[in-house]
């Protein structure tokens, strides 16, 4: 199963991606997390020590070639994991997308091709769960980078700009050969917040698969450079994301 997590900047994509990955790994699934953001932060959110996180090497574009249906890897997925993945908490593995090394460097076309190739090749490993933390830009959608995902989870905060971003991204995602496009409501402080996202989903025909409450412990975990699942005061948030994992089938044995 290949899960891509998208949404407006600051909506909580990385926190939700990391928590889905950790909970799914704890459930006994083989998990491969992919930081597909050119400004990478997933490693620390997963619980990696920042010094170890800094050792993450992106998969080089030279390992990707064009073929019918889009870019593909020129080597085996096992070799890619052996050479470039960081082993992490609960037995998961982390891969990274390339980031710009200098200003005025140009587009990240090759980095997007790497993510697309990895997602396509991981289709041959149905026992694995892949969690992709996307960048806030809709570029992953306009380029079709995640066309090989099985489900796109759009993270929505209960206010206009976040919901409008989800609406735009949902329109793009539904043009891709993705089986499911769903919404996860995040940072809910009140029943009115939950109702606002639910009404939005009903109006636009989008399945609402998760309702995650606001949690002060989430910000505390970030300040401590720790994973939400490892910190006290985040129990309600973790429980809500665990229910979402069950709803989308992430923790169901393959």
| Cα 109 to Cα 44: distance, rounded to the nearest angstrom | 25
pLDDT of 111 higher than 80: no
In a domain, 154, yes or no: yes
Beta strands 93-96 and 86-87, pairing class? antiparallel
Helix axes 235-248, 216-223, angle to 10 degrees: 100
Q: What is the mean pLDDT of residues 23-36?
A: 95
pLDDT value of position 25: 97
Q: Where do runs of H (alpha helix) occur along 27-125?
A: 42-46, 50-53, 77-84, 109-121
pLDDT class of 103 with cuts at 50, 70, 90: low
- Note whether residue 253 is domain-resident: no
CATH code of the domain containing 169? 3.40.50.300
Looking at residues 77-82, what average pLDDT do you find?
Answer: 88
Helix (H) or strand (E) holding 198: helix 191-204
- The model carries a pTM of 0.92
Q: pLDDT band at 105, cuts 50/70/90?
A: low
Average per-residue pLDDT for the chain: 88
**Does any domain span residue 254?**
no
% of the chain beyond a pLDDT of 70: 91
Domain membership flag for residue 66? yes
Query: Region 204-208: what's the mean pLDDT?
Result: 96
pLDDT of residue 102: 43
pLDDT of residue 13: 96
pLDDT at 99: 56
- Tell me the C-alpha to C-alpha distance, in Å, between residue 185 and each of 31, 131, 208: 23, 18, 7
**Whether the predicted pLDDT of 221 surpasses 70:** yes
How big is the chain, counted in residues?
Answer: 254
Residue 146 has a pLDDT of 84
Report if residue 173 sits inside a domain: yes
Band of residue 228 on the pLDDT scale cut at 50, 70, 90: very high
Residue 31: strand pairing partners: 129
Is there a contact between 237 and 215 (Cβ–Cβ < 8 Å)? yes
Question: According to the model, what pLDDT value does residue 169 have?
Answer: 93
What per-residue confidence (pLDDT) applies to 71?
67
Note whether residue 42 is domain-resident.
yes
Q: How far is CA 74 from CA 67, 70, 84, 129, 154, in A?
A: 10, 13, 14, 22, 31
Confidence label for 135 from pLDDT (cuts 50, 70 and 90) = confident
pLDDT band at 69 (very low <50, low <70, confident <90, very high): low
Q: What is the mean pLDDT of residues 123-149?
A: 83
Which range marks the domain in which residue 56 is found? 2-248
Q: What is the total count of domains within the chain?
A: 1
Half-sphere exposure (CA, 13 Å, Cβ side) for 36?
34
What tens digit of pLDDT does each residue of 143-187 get?
A: 777 888 899 999 999 999 999 999 999 999 999 999 999 999 999
pLDDT-derived band at 67, boundaries 50, 70, 90: low
Rounded average pLDDT over 60-77: 74
């Amino acid at each position: 199963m290949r899960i891509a997590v998208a949404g407006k900047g600051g909506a909580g994509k990385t926190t939700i991606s990391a928590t889905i990955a950790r909970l799914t790994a704890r459930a006994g699934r083989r998990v491969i997390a992919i930081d597909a953001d050119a400004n990478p932060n997933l490693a620390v959110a997963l619980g990696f020590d920042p010094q170890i996180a800094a050792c993450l090497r992106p998969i080089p574009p030279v390992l990707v070639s064009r073929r019918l249906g889009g870019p593909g890897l020129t080597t085996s997925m096992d070799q890619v994991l052996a050479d470039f993945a960081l082993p992490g908490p609960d037995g998961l593995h982390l891969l990274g997308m390339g980031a710009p090394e200098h200003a005025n460097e140009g587009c990240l076309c090759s980095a997007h091709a790497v993510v697309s190739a990895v997602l396509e090749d991981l289709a041959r490993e149905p026992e694995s769960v892949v969690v992709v933390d996307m960048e806030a830009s809709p570029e992953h959608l306009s380029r079709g980078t995640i066309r090989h995902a099985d489900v796109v989870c759009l993270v929505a905060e209960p206010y206009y700009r976040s919901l409008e971003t989800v609406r735009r991204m949902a329109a793009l995602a539904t043009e891709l050969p993705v089986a499911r496009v769903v919404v996860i409501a995040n940072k809910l402080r009140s029943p009115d917040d939950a109702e606002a996202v639910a009404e939005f989903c009903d109006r636009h025909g989008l399945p609402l698969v998760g309702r995650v409450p606001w949690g002060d412990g989430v910000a505390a975990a970030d300040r401590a450079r720790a994973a939400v699942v490892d910190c006290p005061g985040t129990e309600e948030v973790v429980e809500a994301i665990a229910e979402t994992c069950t709803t989308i089938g992430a923790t169901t044995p393959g």
